[in-house]
Structure 1
Amino acid sequence: MPLQPLAPSWQLRLAAALVNSAAFPLVGLALLQLAGALSPDDNLLKRRQRICSRLAVAAALGFLLLLPLQTVAGLRQSRAVTTNQASRIKGAEVKLAALRQAVATAGSGAELKQKLQSLEGPVLGPAELSQPLPRLRAQLEAVLDQAEQQIAQQRPQAAAPSPWLLLPDLLRNGLACLALAIGFAAMAQRPGQSIPLLKEVQDRWQQWTEHRRVRRLKASQKQQKRPKRLPSRR
């Protein structure tokens, strides 16, 4: 896979490769945690477990950051495909108009053949050139009409897709990244911490929500203690 970090297609392939291959290290990390629990006195196992738990922190953060990355890359890739299709259809329409003009303005079969060759249009053989020019024009117009119908059938595909059509893929990829991030965070441990990263995040979230609840309660109590203003007498 060539290195193209700014291309959305490359980003999507990288994200898919990481998600598809993440199950193996996750299972290995879980087995290492289980082995450490069964053999708490094994120093070598503890050291390996500590190293892997540090690496799991980076893996958890990486998959968490991968969620918005592949979402944005998916939207960009969809827009790029739509833009390319619209550009191809526009080019086909311009070429079709030039071919129609060449068929209408050619004064002879030889001139018509030369114009079609310059536009990379239909190839005229000796059998076609032996026909009268009006009949040859009618045949070419029929061919160009078929080409115009094909372009008209492809035109709806070039319309910008609805974001709702991309929602199932985005949800599936997002849930996969979130599940992997949670899985690695459950067995990750930052340096200087004695609890897993997931438990650390949960504790901080609870502290933050409790702090907000206390602040709201104090604000409500202050508002209730304020003396009510009596209506002024005129």
Structure 2
Amino acid sequence: MVGQRHTTILLARLYADQMIATKENADLLPENIPELMLSYLNQLNLPVEAAKRRRESEVHRDAEAVAWMCLEQTYRPTPASQDAVLKALAEINPDQTNERLDYLKDSLRLVQKVEPDKISIVLDPLAEYLAGLHLVRQHRDGKVDWSKLLDEADGKPDAPKAIQGFLLALRDCCEVKQNEAKIPKEVIEELTKKAGLDPEEIQAAQQKQRIRMLINDLSAPEFEYRARAAADLGKIGKAAKPAIPRLQKALNDESEV
């Protein structure tokens, strides 16, 4: 419970930072935790002098690879050997691996040396989500690779409780990237079980999130978006009851009809 509370506080702080950074355009706020983590990396990268700043996509790939090195052995955030980290970076791009690691460490302060030859990500939840995004990039629709990873999860010390944070993060990443990366549905279902989540509760939470997004769309300046949101809310039925006041306002406001 303590670990979960710390994670919740961290996510709240990250989201608050994003709200401040995007206060002039609320549409830029991340819609999910994996996107929030990547947005946090972008925030760290932005203050770097333009001439020295690395592309966001490169920072994402490198940070994700380092994070997975820190979780690969135990599925929990632990220091990884610097040699293993440099090897992982070389697999992405063999050029300037030391410089790229230094960039993450010195310019972004995303990683730190905890021993002369050990590297770790400074925030455990961030490490778990970045590692999850790395695996999504690597495995995509590869059922055999996912099956092997899930089987190995059962053999980790004190699993599944001790690795629940990573399982939840990986599940989030798979769900968010499911269509883009063609993640097999069975992978998400298995991660849901291993993480001890109730599928019905997840479905209910997802529906509530969708209803909130549709309610927001009722205020969109484009008529087609408002009309589509109203139609989708109608299809949802009784569960969309919280949208009634906003729908009534839209009907009474001639500028929105």
Q: With structure 1 as the length reference, what TM-score do the two structures score?
A: 0.28
Structure richer in strand, relative to its length:
2
TM norm structure 2: 0.26
More RCO (CA 8 Å, sep 6+): 1
Structure with greater helix share of residues: 1
